[in-house]
Amino acid sequence: MALLTRIRGPRDLDRLTPGQLDRLAAEIRTFLVEEVSKTGGHLGPNLGVVELTIALHRVFHSPKDKILFDTGHQSYVHKLLTGRQDFTNLKGKGGLSGYPSRAESEHDVIENSHASTVLGWAEGIAKANELRGRRDHHVAAVIGDGALTGGMAWEALNNIAAAKDRPLVIVVNDNERSYAPTIGGLANHLATLRTTDGYERFLARGKDILERTPVVGKPLYETLHGAKKGLKDFIAPQGMFEDLGLKYVGPIDGHDIEALESALQRAKRFNGPVIVHCLTEKGRGYQPALQDEADRFHAVGKIHPDTGLPIAASGADWTSVFGEEMVKLGEERDDIVAITAAMLQPVGLDRFAKRFPDRVYDVGIAEQHAAVSAAGLATGGLHPVVAVYATFLNRAFDQVLMDVALHQCGVTFVLDRAGITGTDGASHNGMWDMSILQVVPGLRIAAPRDADQVRAQLREAVEVDDAPTVVRYSKGAVGPAVRALSRIGGMDVLREPGTERPDVLLVSVGALAPMCLEIAGLLDQQGITTTVVDPRWVKPVDEALPGLAARHRVVVTVEDNSRVGGVGSAVSQALRDAGVDVPLRDFGIPPRFLDHASRKEVMAEIGLTAPDIARQVTGLVARIDAPREKAADEAAPAEVAGD
């Protein structure tokens, strides 16, 4: 790592020779494999952009020039070149973020890690440069071919192209993949560009031949050159970009630093928007990644660096339970279809796709379109299951509200990685879904507590054909089944105190059931009797809940979602509407962005643990008891002192 350790900032790259740059690229790949295999992280995307990132930092002068990354999956190389080479606690508490982070470096700009946004950022920053007279400031936006399937990217391109003299370099990092291979019309167009010999090489060869042809050679070449646009469309149909008013450069070998620098320098000098189309290989230089056809080691846990195999075998997880049940449902019902937004394997639909290839639709990174398309499928007599990460459903809220719910379409949304996900940081915590979806009329939300309930509630959800349903569950391993003792209304009773008027009604939401039972045990040690119920369907609030609450002295809700507008708020409103005047305390995620750390560490930091909650509930019960005890003391006869 002799060269890498000498890089403390981007300008240290300027003095390296071409040979040294190639050595540096090799050192970076070795570093990434060795370090990311210890912690887990986004390995494949970073292996693919080593030369591209080096070239970007040699041509553009960050932080004066803004180098922007869409999603940030590929930002590790950027971190290394900007002085951040301690990867020992990558994605862990106190360590480097897995994405760009403004708190870490002045070289980082966008840290939301949701795809297809970078061109909007770039257009806005370029406008600001123009208005502020910063003519020596440049903007370079790196976007993958997968992210270009998102509608926001094309909305931005429409505006970028309207200002033909506003400098902005768009680098298309084309590796034919997002997680899995990129699909759709744009992917086909880029594939054509990849496999075409190219206009420039055609014209260069033609010029050489024609200029040696007597009399007619030179006039014919000039005619051909004048027909440049038509030839380009015929030989390398990049016209789609040029028709928008965008200068196109490429395709460029994304692993040739000299060629990349040359293309980027030309683009930088051009006084207007330019697309530089770079062909890269996800997972480059690491054979286990290249052999992984699913996603080229897009994201890995801890692995053996030599083999790429996981260090520890993982148990059954929530995602696989859903995926298995989907296959069973597909075998039983031919109206069940599945939709994913470029994440077939991460959300567990790969098995369904293998079994029913004609009944699964990957719409690309386009959650809004996924929801509207689902409404259309439902209107056509099918029952679509739209599987996305919980954090990404935020992007399709209007479509869920106005296209699916308003039209009473039977669509089931399955939200993976709901609640605190931890190491991927603020943008990946699925902590808003049960809040934002509360306002959608007719929509129903299921929060399964274990694998058995995932299966059962998924089946209940797809039986609903006149309203949207949501099934949401956590990230990672699913624990043992939590047995219900009885049922009240639609709610499962998980713990019965055996007293006529218990102290606390504890409403447990989803995967937090084991923790809620632990809370009840701790309260029991304090002499506080507790009933624990799992509502199963948290929206709408079960009709039996207010009556049950009235038989308790305190109601407590515990959810893996924002406290603002979440299940606790809905339960509180239901009690008020029913005239049940019982104190309620809601526990959940505070309304702030949470730093990356393990799920356990984040929950401890925000006080969402059994001891923390039990302590606060004990204090609440004590405060309720205090006036009663005082009144009892005042009513008791005074003792008479003896002679």
Residues carrying an active site annotation? 282, 367, 395
What is the SS3 assignment for 227? coil
- Do 470 and 444 touch, CB atoms closer than 8 A? yes
Q: Who's near 38: CB < 8 A, 6+ residues apart?
A: 87, 88, 302
β-strand pairing of 486-488 with 491-495: antiparallel
Structural tokens at position 518: 């632990």
Distance (Å, whole) CA 290 – CA 123: 35
Beta bridge partners of 169: 140, 274
Single-letter code of the amino acid located at 465: D
Give the closest residue to 167 by CA, choosing from 246, 230, 255, 103: 246
Distance (Å, whole) CA 415 – CA 408: 20
Beta bridge partners of 477: 317
- Classify burial at 83, counting beta carbons within 10 Å of its beta carbon; exposed 0-12, middle 13-18, buried 19 or more: middle
Q: Who's near 19: CB < 8 A, 6+ residues apart?
A: none
**Burial profile 165-186: b = 16 or more Cβ within 10 angstroms, e = fewer:** ebbbbbbbbbbbbbbbbbbbeb
Q: Who's near 604: CB < 8 A, 6+ residues apart?
A: none
Give the closest residue to 446 by CA, choosing from 460, 432, 435, 436: 460
E strands, 94-233, in order: 139-144, 168-174
Beta bridge partners of 66: 139
Q: Who's near 243: CB < 8 A, 6+ residues apart?
A: none
**Burial profile 480-498: b = 16 or more Cβ within 10 angstroms, e = fewer:** eebebeeeeeebbebbebe
Give the closest residue to 171 by CA, choosing from 289, 261, 81: 261
| DSSP secondary structure of 530-582 | EEEEE-SEEESPPTTHHHHHTTSSEEEEEEEEESTTSHHHHHHHHHHHTT---
Q: Peptide bond preceding 546: is omega within 30 degrees of 0, i.e. cis?
A: no
What number of other Cβ atoms are within 10 A of residue 499's Cβ?
10
H or E, element range at 279 = strand 273-279
State the sign of the Cα–Cα–Cα–Cα dihedral 50, 54, 59, 62: positive
Give backbone dihedrals phi and psi of 588, rounded to 5 degrees, phi first.
-170, -155
Residue with tokens 């041509």: 59
